[in-house]
Amino acid sequence: MQHPILILGGTAEARRLAGMLSCNPRYAVQLSLAGRTRSPAEHAVPVRIGGFGGAEGLAAHLIAQNIAMFVDATHPYAARISANAALASKISGVPLIALRRAPWRRQDGDRWQSVSSVDGAVSLLGAASRRVFLTLGRQELLPFQAAPQHRYLIRSVDPVEPPLTVPHAIYLTDRGPFREADEARLLREHEVEVIVAKNSGGGASYGKIAAARALGIEVVLINRPPLPEVPAAETVEGIVRHLAHALPPL
């Protein structure tokens, strides 16, 4: 017999966790993706695409699938999904653990400014035209249409469709991890003056932060939203250890 495990994913850590757990015959792992990315990366376990219908729908799924424990390994800014996961755990009685990667910390040489929202980032850019590198999800890009004076370099996993209604925008589609040397080359090539990003933490997208520090480029970081207090670990290895302790061999 196996312990059924559900991972709420969409991050590189979720993919790596699924791969590690798939090698252990103790677990039967399913990975759930919201379906926002058109071409998700390949995974080592069965994948479920789409929402559950809120916390109640997720709780019903946990019960119907006899899930022994589930993992919230979504993006640190997926506040609604994390809130639904916490509530679903209470409704269903199925224990939850969250993978909460640590945020990036300011280092000597960083030129950071922090804002609480995307709208705050738009305002902080100011009225004068600047060369701006946007590394946000497609859903967060629309507010920048209110600042058409800037020249935008926009990178996303999927194409931005429709494109923003601004006169100057270059679009890149790419998936991390991104190396510091490559990011520095990109920043110099496009003469970027400021980067707008989320404080996602982790190593996959830290290259631009390190490159900005080395080149003296300003970074506007959007602060993380508040998340529910649940049992959590900062690393994939911490989640694996927690599951091994909580779910002994049957």
134 and 84 together in one domain: no
Segment 155-191, tens digit of pLDDT: 998 899 999 999 999 999 998 889 999 999 999 999 9
Q: What is the DSSP string of 177-240?
A: ---HHHHHHHHHHTT--EEEEE---SSTTTHHHHHHHHHT-EEEEEPPPP-----EESSHHHHH
62 and 40 together in one domain: yes
190 and 216 together in one domain: yes
The residue segments making up the domain with residue 155 are: 111-222
134 and 78 together in one domain: no
67 and 151 together in one domain: no
Q: Domain tally for the chain?
A: 2
132 and 77 together in one domain: no
Contact predicate 131/150, CB 8 Å = yes
118 and 214 together in one domain: yes
117 and 214 together in one domain: yes
149 and 197 together in one domain: yes
Q: Write down the pTM of the prediction.
A: 0.86
77 and 121 together in one domain: no
CATH of the domain at 186: 3.40.50
Minimum mean pLDDT among 17-26, 90-99, 180-189: which range? 17-26
